[in-house]
Amino acid sequence: MQILASNRGFGLLRQSSKIIIGSLAMAAVVWLCQFQPVARAENKDLSQIPARTAPAWLRDGVIYEIFPRDFSAAGNLDGVTTRLDELKDLGVTILWIMPIHPIGEKFRKGELGSPYSVKDYYAVDSHYGTVDDFKRLVAEAHKRNLKVIMDLVANHTAWDSVMMQHPEFYKQNAEGKVVPPVAEWTDVAGLNYSNPQLRDYMIAMMKHWVQTCDIDGFRCDVASMVPTDFWETARAQLESVKPDIMMLAEASKPDLMVKAFDVDYAWPMMGALNDVLLKGEPASRICASWEESQRQFPRDCLHMRMSDDHDEARAVSRFGVRGALAASALMFTLDGVPMLYNGMEVGDATESGDPALFDKLAIFWSPKDRPPLRKIYGDLIRLRKENAAFRNGRVTWLPNSNQSSLVSFKRADEQNEFVVVINFSSRPGNAQVEVSSGEGFKPVQIAGMPQVPNQDFPSVHLGGFDWRIYQRSLPPVEHAVAGEVPVQIGSTH
């Protein structure tokens, strides 16, 4: 399910425009239900409360979302297992497997139905394979030091779910009729979390998958539509089974991040990105979105940074190949945990989201006229892995002389400083970046990208959708003598 952070200027899309515009009303409904950036627990300022401490493997990781139906020609779990070495070589560390359960047939949408219309939480869809196939996928992933998280659809089920024998588990109208959680979601029935027995059933089911398949966590669909106290209880019980379990919320709701979840969706940032690239808003909108999240969310909160997922038209369709790569450069160099989706590393443009989500549209692994995206993504992942500056929460936004088109910010630790400059315009752009001193900064060469000229930083000259990363080392003596203060979190202007 999708959480929309803003209207995205869908009319600017070319080949995908009819599909995107047709889904705009649905996206707006989910936005109203799910995106709650100003939520406050008991009216507290949650920005003064620390977020729960996430496992180190998540904070340092890179997520890869897999839709098994489309990931391989076979369209099953074995099709994922056979490509684990490719995913390992790419550098991703956490595999998010979209729902693997049988899909409901009653009121089904499309030929194959939505994977988010679950018929039986304890079963594996026969088209995907068996529970043993899933166990093997997880075990083979673990052999390669890859983590695996399941997609949990806790807000609703299919209309022909095995749970329908307990109508008290479901939301009902005044006439006692089971209803969908949102009127437009006609293929699913809403679950009623005021029922204690439902809560027990769902927590037992979650523990079952951890215990039987050794999964490492859950991505929780439309998490803010399920009561926060349920997630907090579930988290505590899951930790008794696997202490370093990971919980990802498909939500942008601050109170979820205090006790229940380790990471959520950076929907506001994705919305700002769409506003800039599709609606022509100034690039400074991106910094403003980041700063607003700092004011709303618990301290040191982790957000999953993405420009593409199963609810969107592909980024290369929305932004063009170069624009999509500029968006990815932002997501891989900001704080948080970056995510790639299902063939994004080759620039797959196969239709995604509603209604494509309901049919089989396999990834096209060899699209025409693409830069060497796999090399580029692999090197961005390597840069992040090798430099703690990209994995901490320290971001300093640097003013520049062309903020309508360019964003610039610094990432730093005790050894290195990096300055990232991205042109979010299709036109060339020049700017002066405001840093105390540009001395010592050298451009970082990213594999697969054109050779970066040795420019006189902090002056930058970027082509349309170009981006640069500059680095300089910090001498240890500088810290010992000067006692340098850690880089601030927040804007410098």
List the beta bridge partners of residue 338: 305
Q: Which pLDDT tens digit goes with each residue over 4-41?
A: 333 323 233 333 333 333 333 344 444 444 444 434 44
Is residue 10 within 8 Å of 24, Cβ to Cβ?
yes
Q: Pick from 122, 406, 155: which is nearest to 287 by CA? A: 406
3-state secondary structure at position 51: coil
> What pLDDT, on the 0 to 100 scale, is given for residue 199?
98
Residue 290 has pLDDT above 70, yes or no: yes
Nearest to 63 by CA among 342, 254, 290, 256: 342
Number of other residues whose CB lies within 10 A of the CB of residue 461: 14
β-bridge mates for residue 191, sequence order: 170
Rg of the chain over Cα atoms, rounded to whole angstroms, equals 22
Q: 471 forms bridges with which residues in the sheet?
A: 418, 442
By C-alpha distance, which of 152, 141, 154 is closest to 95?
141
In this structure, the strands spanning 442-443 and 467-473 are antiparallel
pLDDT of residue 43: 57
Q: How far apart are CA 358 and CA 99, in angstroms?
A: 13
Q: Which of 285, 303, 282 is nearest to 294 (CA)?
A: 303
pLDDT at 479 over 50: no
User: Region 81-97: what's the mean pLDDT?
Assistant: 98
Q: Cis link prior to 371 (omega < 30° from 0)?
A: no
- The tokens 């659809």 sit on which residue? 153
The residue type found at 455 is: Q
What phi and psi, each to the nearest 5 degrees, are found at residue 202? -70, -40
Phi–psi pair at 187, nearest 5 degrees: -95, 5
CA 315 – CA 333 distance, rounded (Å): 18
> On the CB side of 130, how many CA atoms lie within 13 Å of its CA?
3
How are beta strands 217-220 and 396-397 bridged, if at all?
A: unpaired
Q: What are phi and psi of 145, to 5 degrees?
A: 60, 35
- pLDDT at residue number 454: 80
Other Cβ atoms less than 10 A from the Cβ of 463: the count is 14
**pLDDT tier at 324, thresholds 50, 70, 90:** very high
Tens digit of each residue's pLDDT (9 = 90 or more) over 249-259:
999 999 999 99
Nearest one of 329, 287, 272 to 492, comparing CA atoms: 287
pLDDT tens figures, 218-277? 999 999 999 999 999 999 999 999 999 999 999 999 999 999 999 999 999 999 999 999
pTM of the model: 0.90
What backbone torsions phi and psi does residue 265 show, to the nearest 5 degrees?
Answer: -80, 135
Q: What are phi and psi of 70, to 5 degrees?
A: -105, -10
CA dist 157 and 118 (Å) reads 5
CATH assignment, 396-491 = 2.60.40.1180
Residue 325 has a pLDDT of: 98
Q: Residue ranges per domain, the chain?
A: 10-386, 396-491
Asked if residue 83 lies in contact with residue 116, where contact means CB atoms within 8 angstroms, the answer is no
How many CA atoms, within 13 angstroms, populate the side-chain half-sphere of residue 480? Answer: 3
Nearest to 428 by CA among 467, 389, 391: 467
With a CB cutoff of 8 Å and minimum separation 6, the contacts of 234 are 202, 203, 206, 260
Q: How many residues does this entry show for the chain? A: 493
Q: Residue type for 224, please? A: S
CATH of 10-386, one of 3.20.20.80, 3.40.50.300, 3.30.9.10, 3.40.50.620: 3.20.20.80
